[in-house]
Chains A and B, each alone.
Chain A
Amino acid sequence: MMLMSFDELLPLIFIGLMGVSLLVYVVSDGYDLGVGMLMHRATPDERDTMVASIGPFWDANETWLVLGVGLLLVAFPKAHGLVLSELYLPTALMLVGLILRGAAFDFRVKAKADRKAMWDRMFIAGSMLASVCQGWMLGRYISGFGEGWNYPIFAGAIAIALPMAYALLGATWLVMKTHGELQEKAIEWSKIAWAPMVLGLILISMATPWISETVRLRWFTLPAMIAVASIPITTSVALLTVRLLLGAPAVRGALCWLPFALLVLVFFLSFLGLSYSIYPYVVIDRLTVWQAASSPESLRVILIGVCITLPVIIAYTGFSYRVFRGKTIELDYA
């Protein structure tokens, strides 16, 4: 391993920052999109509590997407152009979903009472549309925008699996943030969503090396393979623990936070696996981080800002979660 100069290191720092931003986005907006999708199984009163549980957070959660895509745009303009023109339509549809959801979130409690059901439907539809599009985009991205009969199937599978993962994340969020009847329901929903999510993850893990030769070489070469194996092993343990917890009484009480926390860990491990598979590419087999990066001087300017602001952002995000810790009871917002 040769030592890199700081200027060569900069794109790596930025791909890391971008990856982390998108990971935080997927986890945080993942649970609130998941809660949105689960609303179609809830009564009107339960819907109020569900929305109340994500109310203080959804806006900040969505900002991580702007940061992630912003960093892609700013640090890797060539990759941004390539990725977003390849994914033009799913991106636009995802945005439509996010717009619908964000608007419905506020309208549902402010509009006339008889319109509430309509806005709820918008909220649910928007959450689903955004999640499905994100799954499709992820699938197309992992496969390097390949052409051929198997590629759309792969992307389609992830377009179904990711919303399932979000739904599970959302359900475990509710297990943590609610109690009583709604919590019981959330435990049931978690059990329902668990199997498809695990199945999806297994299928994707099997299909990814099959769809991309680069990934195949990366995974199945000794001795690295032994180190890489720790990722699926830990993930399996975490997922099985989640399933066991859902059947345990403790999840209704002291351990209500654990399934959610374990799922966040699963997302983090999947992210690590994906990063390992793709490195050093921004777009697999097409663009490396260095080919796509902006000039070192502008990266340095942004890095200064990131170093100053990111700790502050993390601090007040932590503050916000502290303020709204504990169980959500009811919404008296209108």
Chain B
Amino acid sequence: MDAVFLARMQFAANITFHILFPSISIALGWLLLFFRLKYLRATDPQQKLDWLRAYRLWTKVFALTFALGVVSGVTMSFQFGTNWPGYMERVGNIAGPLLGYEVLTAFFLEAGFLGVMLFGHRRVGEIVHLGATVLVALGTLMSAFWILALNSWMQTPAGYEIVNGQFHARSWLAIIFNPSFPYRLVHMVLASALTCAFLLIGISAWQLLKGVATTSASRVLRTGLVFAALAAPAQMVAGDFHGLNTLKHQPQKIAAVEGIWETTRGAPLLLFAIPDDATRSNRFELPVPKLASLILRHDPDGELKGLNEFPSAHPPVLPLFWSFRIMVGTGILMLLVSWVGLWRHWRDGWEFSLMPRPLLKLFAGMTFAGWVATIAGWYVTEIGRQPFIVSGLIRTSEVASRVPSASIALTLAIYVTLYVGLLVAYVGVLKYMSEKPEKSSAAVTSEDLAQDPLRYQSRGEFA
């Protein structure tokens, strides 16, 4: 096995595992704030209790998600250096400050206030506690801002100059707000909204099927449905804009996504095909005539550049072609399910007891749909940048590690084992937490309403 390939696999494994958690926590932080505000503003005791229960369950989900995001993120911060030492040596002047600002403005903010948010209830009072929740949620957004700025710069570099093979910053504004950044940021934030919405939908539906916490679960399910029904179409629009932007700056990526080998006027949209890099053609094509040109050029006879225009500098076609279809397919499915669900719910007079069980089962089955779409989307953008690490400027193979491949293989095996184990545990614990029977409302005391997870006895001065 060659070291570059192993380094790539290891990095891919790590970012795949990592993105699962931010894709939930970016949006979940804001939803927790929503639950908390609902709880504070409710006057009816049953309603108050419902929102409180929702808040407590989802705070636990957030804590767990956040912890896994942190530990996999720490690993990632090391792997930038261990797997791609040449990358920092060449573009450190640009990537360094962006990563530095992420740590300084986002990580510390999240980590610093997470303790107050999770354990500080009775120690700080409601206003400060809400403030801590807002800061944690802002921290996750800021984290996304900086890391996506860097990733987008690698996709569509701007604002730099090269002196003796070293990259130097010419304009930080141009670097941060590079051509693909606004699109990628919006696309990722919406992806998180959708992922999170379906997690709410799926887990609440599961609770309803099991007859657990029904009143609280139905409120959360409704929140999730509304949230998803709004986010899904918005994501389609954002994705379309993002695709057009990619066509402008990375035409080889779009050519691979569409499976177009030869430059074509009136290119078809392939619903199915098996692209073959060896013969440089597709097998088993199932085309919709002229549709790709129509979508991408807004003209049925528009011209799309083919892969043969980019000899030895285009990404592998098969994984890109299929990742894209999985992403879009899952997105369409999420749109349909959320709209059908909401329509049905409206027709039932907002009464979940009338919701047919097969539909609830479908919701539960879609719990992690957002993960599938998010990972597929990241594969499109990351594999689509290959063979470059910085589009058109630096090849990934040039900057790979000089560590012996046996070491990389060993650590890869350890990481993958660990990640699979943690993922199974994570899903298992989500299931367990959602099924846990609650105290009956009579047994809930004012103590519970104050919800103080850690009780301390204040002992005067020393911290």
Residue of B73, B96, B414 near A74 (CB, 8 A) is B96
Contacts of A329 in B (CB 8 A): 454-457
* Docked-complex contact B459 and A327, CB < 8 angstroms: yes
Instruction: List residues 203-246 of chain A with CB under 8 A from any CB of chain B.
Output: none
Contacts of B452 in A (CB 8 A): 332
A284 in the interface (beta carbon within 8 A): no
Instruction: List residues 268-310 of chain A with CB under 8 A from any CB of chain B.
Output: 294-295, 297-298, 301-302, 305-306, 309-310
B347 in the interface (beta carbon within 8 A): no
Contacts of A294 in B (CB 8 A): 92-93, 96
A7 in the interface (beta carbon within 8 A): no
A198 in the interface (beta carbon within 8 A): no
* Docked-complex contact A73 and B82, CB < 8 angstroms: no
* Docked-complex contact A99 and B75, CB < 8 angstroms: yes
A149 in the interface (beta carbon within 8 A): no
A142 in the interface (beta carbon within 8 A): no
Q: Which residue of A lies closest to B82 (CB)?
A: A84
Say how far A112's CB is from chain B's closest CB, in angstroms: 6
B354 in the interface (beta carbon within 8 A): no
A313 in the interface (beta carbon within 8 A): yes
Interface stretch (choices B100-108, B180-188, B210-218, B337-345): B100-108
With A67-B103, A106-B64, A320-B113 as given contacts, are A81 and B88 in contact (CB-CB < 8 Å)? yes
* Docked-complex contact A323 and B116, CB < 8 angstroms: yes
Q: Mark B105-149, 1 if CB is under 8 A from A, else 0.
A: 101111111111011100110000000000000000000000000
Contacts of A69 in B (CB 8 A): 77-78, 81
B223 in the interface (beta carbon within 8 A): no
Instruction: List residues 162-192 of chain A with CB under 8 A from any CB of chain B.
Output: 176
Contacts of B77 in A (CB 8 A): 66, 69-70, 73
Contacts of A326 in B (CB 8 A): 456-460, 462-463
- Cα separation A334 to B422 with both chains bound (whole Å): 19
- Cα separation A215 to B57 with both chains bound (whole Å): 56
Identify whether the interface residues of B are mostly helix, strand, loop, or mixed: helix
Instruction: List residues 51-86 of chain A with CB under 8 A from any CB of chain B.
Output: 52, 55-57, 59-60, 62-63, 65-67, 69-71, 73-75, 77-78, 80-81, 84-85
Say how far B105's CB is from chain A's closest CB, in angstroms: 6
Q: Which residue of B lies closest to A51 (CB)?
A: B454
Contacts of B422 in A (CB 8 A): 99, 103
Question: Please, how many residues of chain A have a CB less than 8 angstroms from a CB on the other chain?
Answer: 74
- Cα separation A67 to B108 with both chains bound (whole Å): 9
Residue of A77, A107, A327 near B456 (CB, 8 A) is A327
* Docked-complex contact B94 and A327, CB < 8 angstroms: no
- Cα separation A202 to B276 with both chains bound (whole Å): 65
- Cα separation A176 to B454 with both chains bound (whole Å): 17
A132 in the interface (beta carbon within 8 A): no
Contacts of A55 in B (CB 8 A): 115, 118-119, 454
Instruction: List residues 135-181 of chain B with CB under 8 A from any CB of chain A.
Output: 166, 168-169, 172
A15 in the interface (beta carbon within 8 A): no
* Docked-complex contact A295 and B454, CB < 8 angstroms: no
- Cα separation A65 to B107 with both chains bound (whole Å): 11
* Docked-complex contact A66 and B74, CB < 8 angstroms: yes
Contacts of B114 in A (CB 8 A): 59-60
Question: Please, how many residues of chain B have a CB less than 8 angstroms from a CB on the other chain?
Answer: 78
Residue of A84, A99, A297 near B71 (CB, 8 A) is A99
Q: Mark A28-67, 1 if CB is under 8 A from B, else 0.
A: 0000000000000000000000001001110110110111
Q: Which residue of B lies closest to A56 (CB)?
A: B115
Instruction: List residues 32-76 of chain B with CB under 8 A from any CB of chain A.
Output: 60, 63-64, 66-68, 70-75
Q: Which residue of A lies closest to B408 (CB)?
A: A88
- Cα separation A302 to B92 with both chains bound (whole Å): 12
Residue of A56, A57, A302 near B100 (CB, 8 A) is A302
Q: Which residue of B lies closest to A330 (CB)?
A: B455
Residue of A81, A111, A257 near B85 (CB, 8 A) is A81
Contacts of B74 in A (CB 8 A): 62, 65-66, 95, 98-99
Residue of B92, B407, B432 near A298 (CB, 8 A) is B92
B453 in the interface (beta carbon within 8 A): yes
- Cα separation A334 to B64 with both chains bound (whole Å): 12
B411 in the interface (beta carbon within 8 A): yes
B271 in the interface (beta carbon within 8 A): no
Contacts of B15 in A (CB 8 A): none
Contacts of B355 in A (CB 8 A): none
Q: Which residue of B lies closest to A100 (CB)?
A: B418
- Cα separation A168 to B410 with both chains bound (whole Å): 33
* Docked-complex contact B111 and A62, CB < 8 angstroms: yes
A199 in the interface (beta carbon within 8 A): no
With A74-B99, A103-B71, A301-B172 as given contacts, are A85 and B457 in contact (CB-CB < 8 Å)? no
* Docked-complex contact B454 and A331, CB < 8 angstroms: yes
With A66-B74, A325-B463 as given contacts, are A107 and B115 in contact (CB-CB < 8 Å)? no
With A85-B85, A111-B429 as given contacts, are A324 and B123 in contact (CB-CB < 8 Å)? yes
* Docked-complex contact B115 and A320, CB < 8 angstroms: yes
* Docked-complex contact B403 and A324, CB < 8 angstroms: no
B97 in the interface (beta carbon within 8 A): yes
- Cα separation A100 to B432 with both chains bound (whole Å): 20
Contacts of A320 in B (CB 8 A): 112-113, 115-116
Contacts of A6 in B (CB 8 A): none
Contacts of A176 in B (CB 8 A): 462
Contacts of B454 in A (CB 8 A): 52, 55-56, 328-333
A92 in the interface (beta carbon within 8 A): yes
- Cα separation A55 to B120 with both chains bound (whole Å): 11
Say how far B221's CB is from chain A's closest CB, in angstroms: 22
* Docked-complex contact A295 and B85, CB < 8 angstroms: no
B248 in the interface (beta carbon within 8 A): no
B449 in the interface (beta carbon within 8 A): no
Interface centre among A77, A91, A98, by most chain B C-beta atoms within 10 angstroms, is: A77
Contacts of A70 in B (CB 8 A): 77, 99-100, 103
Say how far A79's CB is from chain B's closest CB, in angstroms: 10
Q: Which residue of B lies closest to A304 (CB)?
A: B97
A19 in the interface (beta carbon within 8 A): no
Residue of A67, A257, A323, A327 near B104 (CB, 8 A) is A67
- Cα separation A77 to B166 with both chains bound (whole Å): 12
A154 in the interface (beta carbon within 8 A): no
* Docked-complex contact A92 and B104, CB < 8 angstroms: no
Contacts of B285 in A (CB 8 A): none
- Cα separation A6 to B281 with both chains bound (whole Å): 59
Residues of B participating in the A interface, judged by any CB pair closer than 8 Å:
60, 63-64, 66-68, 70-75, 77-78, 80-82, 85-86, 88-89, 92-94, 96-97, 99-101, 103-105, 107-116, 118-120, 123-124, 166, 168-169, 172, 401-403, 407, 410-411, 414-415, 418, 422, 425, 428-429, 432-433, 452-463
Known A59-B66, A107-B425, A333-B453; further 20 A-B contacts with Cβ < 8 A: A67-B103, A73-B96, A77-B89, A78-B89, A80-B81, A81-B86, A84-B81, A85-B85, A91-B78, A92-B415, A95-B78, A96-B414, A99-B74, A106-B67, A298-B92, A305-B104, A320-B113, A324-B120, A324-B123, A325-B462
